[in-house]
Structures are given as C-alpha cells and as structure tokens.
Structure 1
Amino acid sequence: METRNILKKDERIDQLYSQDVRIIQNPHYFAFSLDAVLLANFVRPNHRQKLKIVDLCAGNGAIGIFLHDKLGGTFTEVELQPQIADMAERTILLNDLQDRYTVVNDDIANVNDYISKDSIDIVLCNPPYFPVTAQSQKNPNKALAIARHEIATDLVTVIQKMSGLLKMNGHGYLVHRPDRLGEILQVCQENRLAPKRIQFIHPKPDRDANILLLEVIKDGRPGGVKVVPSLIVHGADNEYTPAVQELLYGK
C-alpha cells in the first residue's frame, strides 16, 4: 500500500529489515521496542496454514507482523486503546497482510466475546510490566502509562485469558521482567500452563537480565523446563551485539 495518506499526525514508519516489514509508530501513543523483536524471535516456527494465533495487548501489531513469515495461519490482534488499534489496522494494510490479520479493539478481559475458548494454537503477549504506582497513575501521557503499567489489565488477567484461549497442548509466549518470574510461574501453573522454555536477556555482559522470555504449553506435562542460552543486547562498546544486529537487520 502507498505510504502517502496512511500516516496521521506525529506518526512515522519504521522498518524491521530482517523481516522486510514496516510498522506505523507514534511515540506519543506507542512504539514497539526491542522486546517485541525478541519475543518474535523466541517463537518456534510453525508453517501450518490452519494455525490460529492471538496477540494479546497487541499495541500497534508489531509482534504479530514480525511473525508473518515464521507462522502460518491467521492472526487476531487484540488492543484496548483505539488510537493504537487504528495504527495496527493501518500497519496491516501497509504490509498487504489483511487476508491473514484482523484487529479487535477491546479489553482483553472481553476477548471471548470475539474468540471461542479452547480454540487457539498460539497466544502471544507483551503485557504491561509494572504494577500500578502513584507515579504511574499521575503520568500525564495516559496511553504510555496504560502500555507500561498494569492500569487496564494485569498479569493474572493476561495469563487467565491466554490459558482460556489455548487449545490443549497449545503454546503461549510471554515477554516480561525477570524480577516477576516467581509470580509468573505460580500464576501459569494455577492456570494449566506448564512452563517449558525460558530465555533471559541482558542489556550488557556484566549486567543482570532485564527481560524474560517464556514459552508455556497448556496442560503440558510438568517438569522438563529448558533455560536456553542468554542473549546479550549491547557489548562493552555500547553497540548492538552481532546476534541482536542480525535480529534487527538480517544476515
């Protein structure tokens, strides 16, 4: 689709060269971060044409769009905020993917009004990471506050909805903060999601991990969790490491 006339005030188009896709961004509302690229990379390839995939807290649809070539089937992007859901819809048009992607503009708490329980093969989520604080409630940018803090949804709701949507043996993928790992694992196990694969992302070689990637299987057998090799984002020179360069720009 022509880029002319598709952008609104303060919007820009960013390209993920490694996947040959373009994403409409607006820093006042929402812009995808490296977290989205990392989660898409963590997802296992599956090219079955009948796959059904749901992206909860989808933002501008970046994670789903990044997976257009890695996963077969159809995607439903669920995003609460109207301005951001509108960006997702126009991003789908920009990449000519409207035959495979649809956007639902509603609270994920209402997702079963649109999608049947126990019907989805893969559920993705990059949720708000941070519990609500007095400071987050006072954030003058409400759109960004909702994207970052558990104002409109929370971890328990995200996990409950992920589990409810997934078929038995369906796969869920979550990006979150390592300091909440204990809580995440507990809530997953309370909701029939067996943790199967974990990756930690470190900002630099000598820094603690600040991003967690998790794969779960609905009603999966207990045990057998794999902690895969960590990924380092920046070297000592503050440049992206070769592994991250490849994720962003391709080989």
Structure 2
Amino acid sequence: MSEPIAPDETLDSIGTAGVRVLQRRSGYRFTLDAVLLAHFAATEGTGTPGPMLELGAGSGVVSFLLVKQFHLGPVDSLELQPAVFARLQRAVALNACESHVRPLLGDLRRIRELVPGGQHVHVVSNPPFRIANAGVRSPDDERAVSKSEVACDASDVIAAARYALMPGGTVSLVYPASRVAEVLGLLTQAKLYPSVLRFVHSHVGSPATRFLVQAVRDRDRGLAVRPPLIVHGEGPGGYSAEVAALMEPPLAERGPSRD
C-alpha cells in the first residue's frame, strides 16, 4: 500500500480470491450479506458482459468480489460518505483493480448527475435495511447511514437502478425477509420485473432472515423461486457447504502450512 493503515482501521480479507478491504474498527463493517449478494448477482445474471454499477458500495466488498472472484465488470462503485469513499479508493489500489473498479462519490438520489442512463448491464446493491424511524438511530453517523434509511430508501435505490440499467438489464438486491412484499411491489411498479427470488435462513428449519432478488428492466419473464440458502451447517467454519465455498480458497490453493 502507498500509505499505512490508520490506527482506527482494519485490513480484512474475504472470499476465495484474496479480496482485501479497509474498515473502521468502530464503524459499520461488512457482513455476510455482501458475499451472498455478489454470488447471487454473478450466478443468476444473464451473463451479458458489460459495465456494472454498485449503489452504496461502502468498503467495496461486492464490487471487488464481482471483479476478482467472479471475473465480471468493470464496476462503477458509488458511495455517499466521503470518509468511507476514501477507504474505498485506497482499497482499489490494494486489490490492483484500478482498471476494473471505478469509485464514484455521490448521492444515488442524484444518479442522473453521476452516470449516463441506460448504460449498465447489471446493478447491485446491499442498501440500508432499517426503515428510518424504526428503532433507535445509531449515534455514529457512518453506522446510521449504512444501516438505516436516513439518506435513501428502497424506492430511491430502485429508481436509481432503473435509470442506470439498459433495457433487459438486471438488478440484484438483498433485504430483510420482512420487507419482501414491499420491495417486490416497488420493483414491479418501476417496471423492474422480479425474475429470481431466494430466501436466506440461518439454519435448516429456521425462519428466513433475508431475501435475494433479481429483476429485469422492462421484461416480465415470470418469477423463479430458488431453494432456500442455508447459512450455518457442518461445513468449514460452521457454515453450510454452499456458503463455506464462497468464504475461503480450497486448502490446496492456500499454499503450505506455516504451523
């Protein structure tokens, strides 16, 4: 790196391709949702090559995974918060993604000022989950903006995705399971027709906690509901085999043990 990690930062690795991200020790930190979203977008997409857009990129986990682990992109990575954006910029160089990930600083509600319309084949977003006035707002602004809909809501995210997508392009989102009816309704109203839906469960037999949805601009192809995605199981790290395969490279690719 061209500059040291700050005392209030951590350098973390994720995925099977050596993706590294910078995060505040006490700020909002990425979760497994980012990994699941990147995998969902990559495997359920149409396969059409072309530019992608991440709305609310944060530390860049989804963008970097799409490029390095799933060999997609290039990706425009839009982030609102200047301090978070600065870490994203540094991580682009850290991951040698200068020609594949383009950080953009700005508000997705002003998307028309930031990117040309109808140019992206796929939009992804792991947006703020919590409705603005639901529960106690975090006193930390970075956490509040990342977790709660204080700077944008689901309709803003979907409107930005609609604007950026080319006809027939796809958008992939992850949201709490309790918001499935709301989000599918907003997508359909925007003529982003849900095409793939998958619920995420912590354990076999437990209620869904999240859902992943992909929708297609202007083309209603019907909705396919995939089998449940189970997070925890008997795989490495206490994950299910499917999730464990996304988290770390196989043992044969890790090199000799240093024990």
Q: Give the structure 1 partner of residue 111 of structure 2.
A: 111
Deviations 1:85-129 (A, max 9, x none): 111111111011111211111111112212111111110000001
Checking the alignment, whether the CA contact within 8 Å between 1:47 and 1:72 is kept in structure 2 is no
SS of the residue 1:159 aligns to: helix
Checking the alignment, whether the CA contact within 8 Å between 1:136 and 1:145 is kept in structure 2 is no
Give the whole-Å Cα distance in 2 for the aligned partners of 1:74 and 1:108.
19
- CA RMSD in angstroms comes to 2.2
Give the whole-Å Cα distance in 2 for the aligned partners of 1:196 and 1:91.
33
Give the whole-Å Cα distance in 2 for the aligned partners of 1:236 and 1:111.
43
Give the whole-Å Cα distance in 2 for the aligned partners of 1:134 and 1:127.
16
Q: Give the structure 2 partner of residue 121 of structure 1.
A: 121
Give the whole-Å Cα distance in 2 for the aligned partners of 1:48 and 1:34.
24
Checking the alignment, whether the CA contact within 8 Å between 1:6 and 1:90 is kept in structure 2 is no
Checking the alignment, whether the CA contact within 8 Å between 1:17 and 1:248 is kept in structure 2 is yes
1:1-251 → structure 2 map (5 Å cutoff): 2=1, 5-44=3-42, 51-69=50-68, 70-133=70-133, 135-137=135-137, 139-222=138-221, 224-235=222-233, 239-251=238-250
Using the size of structure 1 for normalisation, the TM-score is 0.91
SS of the residue 1:150 aligns to: coil
Using the size of structure 2 for normalisation, the TM-score is 0.89
In structure 2, runs of 5+ residues without a counterpart are 251-259
> Which letter does structure 1 place at the counterpart of 2:78?
V
Distance 1:49 1:169, change over 3 A: closer
In structure 1, runs of 5+ residues without a counterpart are none
Moved more, 50-59 or 65-74: 65-74
SS of the residue 1:68 aligns to: helix
Moved more, 53-62 or 103-112: 103-112
Checking the alignment, whether the CA contact within 8 Å between 2:75 and 2:100 is kept in structure 1 is yes
Distance 1:203 1:72, change over 3 A: closer
The alpha carbon displacement at 1:192 in A equals 1.0
The alpha carbon displacement at 1:75 in A equals 1.1
% identity of equivalent residues: 27
> Which letter does structure 2 place at the counterpart of 1:68?
V
SS of the residue 2:76 aligns to: strand
Moved more, 170-179 or 105-114: 105-114
Give the whole-Å Cα distance in 2 for the aligned partners of 1:25 and 1:248.
18
Checking the alignment, whether the CA contact within 8 Å between 2:8 and 2:24 is kept in structure 1 is yes
Checking the alignment, whether the CA contact within 8 Å between 1:136 and 1:149 is kept in structure 2 is no
SS of the residue 2:136 aligns to: helix
Give the whole-Å Cα distance in 2 for the aligned partners of 1:178 and 1:47.
24
Checking the alignment, whether the CA contact within 8 Å between 2:79 and 2:104 is kept in structure 1 is yes
The alpha carbon displacement at 1:27 in A equals 3.5
> Which letter does structure 2 place at the counterpart of 1:51?
G
Give the whole-Å Cα distance in 2 for the aligned partners of 1:57 and 1:98.
19
SS of the residue 2:238 aligns to: coil
